[in-house]
Amino acid sequence: MNLIFLGPPGAGKGTHAQLLMNELNIPQISTGDMLRQAMKAGTEMGLSAKRYIEAGELVPDEVVIGIVKDRLQADDCKRGYILDGFPRTVKQAEALSEFAQIDVALNIALDDEVIVKRLSGRRVCLKCGATYHISTLNGKEDCAVCGEKLVQRKDDAPETVQNRLSVYAAQTAPLIDYYQKKGILRTVNCPPAGTVQEVYQLVRETLGLK
């Protein structure tokens, strides 16, 4: 199954994409994680992406389209994949349609108010991509998966979060319509207080998994 996870920042795309990756044994391809890794490694692409990411703006289309096109050539994508955070503009979606056949675009919908609360308490592992919320960490500072020190993403600062939400509304939300018209959109409406497991169950049901 070739999937796209759509939805505003903080809706839980990464969390559910990772759970599904483990269940279906197909890779989660997160452009955000790939860009952050490039930033951490100090590559030319990482350095040029940094200012966009830290301002909550989108990295230019050509850059992310190139990354995804290369990544989808890898052997591990032959049985399917989950695109998490790509496409984010109609131009990216049109480019994607030229080199990939998508089965389902899953839209994870959540209220802005919940998103802001969620992102301000989010802590991430820059090594393996695992994400946590301070309310469940009980003071722990290291990643439970790989032991790396957890950090707050610079773009999770409140003023940047507002910008990311505006960028989402202006540039990414039109993809909901785009995939609706293609007949492959499915939506999961997240209850505001839903646990990860509850929402993941909705994701599974929406995808028709037994």
Just list the catalytic residues. Answer: 13, 88, 122, 153, 164
Helix H or strand E encompassing 50: helix 44-55
Decide whether 27 or 85 has the Cβ nearer to ligand AMP: 85
Decide whether 12 or 85 has the Cβ nearer to ligand AMP: 85
Evaluate whether 93 touches 102 at the Cβ level (below 8 Å).
no
Tally Cβ neighbours within 10 Å of residue 122.
19
Select the residue interacting with ligand AMP from 11, 31, 115, 190 (CB under 6 A). 31
Is 155 one of the binding residues for ligand AMP (CB under 6 A)?
yes
Taking Cα atoms as reference points, which of 210, 203, 179 lies closest to residue 20?
203
Task: Tell me the window of 16-24, 87-95, 133-141, 187-195 that interacts with ligand AMP (CB under 6 A).
Answer: 87-95
Q: What is the 8-class DSSP label of residue 149?
A: B
User: Cα angle vertex 70, ends 67, 71, to 5°?
Assistant: 80
Is 35 one of the binding residues for ligand AMP (CB under 6 A)?
yes
Residues that bind ligand AMP (CB under 6 A): 9, 31-32, 35, 52-53, 56-59, 64, 85-88, 92, 155, 164
